[in-house]
Amino acid sequence: MPTSGNPTSVERRILGATMPTDQPAAPPAPAPRYRARCPACRWTGRAFATYGTAEDAARDHARDKHHTTFVLDQYDMRVVGSTIHPFEAY
């Protein structure tokens, strides 16, 4: 086997090494995002990186508008336990 220069694909397989050119890079995982949502008035808050900030936005909307709100995850699924009723917002 030659010892200088870049190894050939056969040499890489023999050595068990993987090179960046062997496989395409995997796409990056989507960043988590959470949004507050109100089913009564169809209001949707902006996307936040942390659950707590989205929960605060949902709590503020529940307090201001007297609506029941909840938090959605990055797949637009309701987060279990995130329902906020107007009487709980204070």
Question: How many CA atoms lie within 13 Å of 13's alpha carbon, on the beta-carbon side?
Answer: 3
pTM (two decimals): 0.65
- Tokens standing for 84? 């906020």
Q: Percent of the chain scored above 70 by pLDDT?
A: 76
Section 67-74 average pLDDT = 96
Percent of the chain scoring above 90 in pLDDT: 61
Provide the pLDDT for residue 1: 52
Reported as a single tens digit per residue, the pLDDT across 18-32 is: 555 567 778 887 788
Give per-residue pLDDT as tens, 76-88: 999 999 999 999 8
Best CA proximity match to 71, nearest among 86, 56, 84, 82: 82
How many other C-beta atoms can be found within 10 angstroms of the C-beta atom of residue 61? 23
Q: Which two tokens stand for residue 30?
A: 């989507």
Residue ranges of the domains in the chain?
31-88
